[in-house]
Structure 1
């Protein structure tokens, strides 16, 4: 029996709303991208006055987080530690701000945030995940 959990549009909206609230609380202009477990875009939110370059970066962060089932901060730390070979790993993005979405041990998607400092992007993404887990 297959008991696969899927990321729904309603889930994505909950995540995005909480992430947006965190960004607005701090006056951070960002793009919030949410993808499903196949790295297909489910939801995209670009706050006013956010640089357009952050659109692709947010999507890539989300795709990298689900493709490798880990936060993008992992690769940032590897590169910072001098392990530059990770720069050549296809599909990775060594910039914090991409987090997988895990429910009952299943990877159902990911969120990527871009627009401010990478640890602030991650803070926004985490706020979205926290809201989903509470709902």
Structure 2
């Protein structure tokens, strides 16, 4: 029987810290949302002076990445490529900035970022996702 891996709160803080570092380095004010292995909000950070609308958008990007187990950029590119029926999928926010979080092949959560241009949100989310590789997750 394979044990299910899970993010701890300290893991979520480490992921947010890595993402925040990338945002601060570029002077980008954003909201960073972390979902747990059940797809529920675990941690949310809103930088000073980030528009309030980004709170919901960051969570929805994370939720899309979690539900579909892929980057929201992939979903966005599919829509831009002409497959507009994808807009009707429940839980789909096809805007770059959301990534699923995997540990040893297991989906352990997701990150969503909103506040700047979507490609910049994606850069920040990637920095957070990379931090997962350095963590020793509990099983």
Instruction: Give the alignment's TM-score, normalised by structure 1.
Output: 0.97
Instruction: Please give the alpha-carbon distance, in whole angstroms, between the structure 2 residues aligned to 1:128 and 1:88.
Output: 29
Partner of 2:81: 81
Partner of 1:58: 58
Cα root mean square deviation, aligned: 0.9
Q: CA deviation at 1:97?
A: 0.4
Q: CA deviation at 1:2?
A: 4.0
Instruction: Give the alignment's TM-score, normalised by structure 2.
Output: 0.94
CA contact (8 A) 2:101 2:132 kept: no
Indicate whether 1:18 and 2:18 are aligned.
yes
Partner of 1:36: 36
Moved more, 76-85 or 123-132: 123-132
> Structure 2: any 5+ residue segments left out of the alignment?
none
Q: What SS does structure 1 have at the residue aligned with 2:94? A: coil
Aligned length, in residue pairs: 135
Instruction: Please give the alpha-carbon distance, in whole angstroms, between the structure 1 residues aligned to 2:112 and 2:46.
Output: 12
Kindly provide the CA deviation profile for residues 74-96 of structure 1, in whole angstroms up to 9, marking residues without a partner as x: 11001111110000000011100
Instruction: Please give the alpha-carbon distance, in whole angstroms, between the structure 2 residues aligned to 1:86 and 1:107.
Output: 22
Alignment of 1:81-100 (within 5 A): 81-100=81-100
Q: CA deviation at 1:116?
A: 0.5
Partner of 1:45: 45
> Structure 1: any 5+ residue segments left out of the alignment?
none
Moved more, 122-131 or 109-118: 122-131
Runs of 4+ in 1 over 4 A off after TM superposition: none
